[in-house]
């Protein structure tokens, strides 16, 4: 038996449950997740102690791509000033809380209001998405008042990945079944915007990201006042930490400057 197997067996005897499944691939069991989370929290406390001794600290965070390219971007300067190393996990805002549950990150931007066990959550506000496309994608004479729904069904949209539900949310506001949409997949935030600018299809885009394009005419808003608003929450481990508290304060300031309906 390898040294690693012996340690796992000893750990399982101590906790009274299997912590991993034997097989390929090896997976952490449900009881094992609680042990793993505790181990990572202890590791964090050790990291905090090392930081007080002048050693660098790494913060592992889960942030969705749209937030990172808009309201969360000023946080990067804060990390630089705090002399903190960051390990960013770019994940859909509907899935970031899962990384917290597995203790893979210490904090996350999420659409979930309720935090995972052992974490706390605070509302950040609503991120607004506007429906837009390249001007050449629309008919020369514009769309008639009742023609948007049919145009949405006939014109491809763009998705960040297969789980991107934002175009569907907008289509439903127009009375269109999500199953009617045809979509390109462009899993890169910058190239996604470039693809919309190039006329590959229509999409719903962060208001802050496309404001200049709408002013210059590089993009045009679809003929509707409808928007898609996504409520965001900030989740983090419930552990005492001056560094995490300071990060929370800065995240709230960034959200207050950029998001709609900030609760502070």
Position 153 scores a pLDDT of: 93
Position 251 scores a pLDDT of: 97
Position 128 scores a pLDDT of: 97
Distance CA 193, CA 219 (A): 10
Task: Please give, one letter per residue, the 3-state secondary structure of the chain.
Answer: CCHHHHHHHHHHHHHCCCCECCCCCCCECHHHHHHHHHHHHHHHHHHHHHHHCCCCEEEEEEECHHHHCCCCCCHHHHHHHCCEEEEEEECCCCCHHHHHHCCCCCEEEECCCCCCCCEEEEEEEEEEEEEEECHHHCCCCCCCCCCHHHHHHHCCEEECCCCCCHHHHHHHHCCCCHHHCCEEECCCHHHHHHHHHCCCCEEEEEHHHHHHHHHHCCCEECCCCCCEEEEEEEEEECCCCHHHHHHHHHHHHHHHHHCECCCC
Position 200 scores a pLDDT of: 97
Position 11 scores a pLDDT of: 56
Position 31 scores a pLDDT of: 64
Sorted by where each starts, the structural domains of the chain and their CATH numbers stand as: 3-125+232-258 (3.40.190.10), 128-229 (3.40.190.10)
pLDDT in tens, 84-142: 899 999 998 888 988 888 888 999 999 999 998 888 999 999 999 999 999 999 998 88
The SS3 assignment for 58 reads strand
Structure pTM?
0.82
Residues of the chain under the 70 pLDDT cut: 1-54, 145
């Amino acid at each position: 038996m390898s040294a690693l197997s012996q340690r796992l067996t000893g750990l399982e005897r101590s906790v009274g449950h299997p912590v991993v499944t034997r097989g390929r691939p090896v997976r952490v069991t449900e009881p094992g997740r609680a042990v793993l989370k505790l181990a990572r929290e202890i590791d964090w406390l050790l990291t905090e102690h090392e930081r007080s001794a002048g050693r660098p600290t790494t913060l592992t965070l889960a942030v969705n791509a749209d937030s990172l390219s808009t309201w969360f971007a000023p946080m990067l300067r804060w990390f630089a000033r705090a002399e903190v190393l960051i390990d960013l996990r770019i994940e859909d805002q509907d899935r970031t809380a899962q990384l917290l549950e597995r203790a893979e990150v210490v904090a996350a931007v999420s659409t979930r209001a309720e935090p995972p066990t052992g974490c706390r959550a605070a509302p950040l506000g609503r991120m607004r998405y506007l429906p837009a496309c390249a001007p050449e994608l629309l008919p020369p004479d514009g769309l008639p008042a009742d023609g948007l729904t049919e145009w949405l069904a006939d014109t491809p949209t763009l998705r960040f990945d297969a789980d991107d539900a934002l175009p569907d949310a907008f289509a439903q506001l127009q009375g269109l079944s999500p199953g009617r949409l045809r979509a390109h997949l462009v899993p890169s935030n910058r190239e996604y915007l470039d693809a919309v600018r190039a006329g590959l299809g229509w999409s719903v885009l962060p208001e802050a990201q496309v404001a200049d394009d709408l002013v210059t005419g590089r993009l045009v808003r679809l003929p509707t006042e409808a928007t898609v608003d996504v409520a965001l929450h900030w989740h983090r481990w419930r552990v005492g930490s001056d560094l995490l508290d300071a990060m929370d304060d800065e995240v709230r300031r960034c959200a207050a400057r950029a998001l709609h309906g900030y609760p502070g």
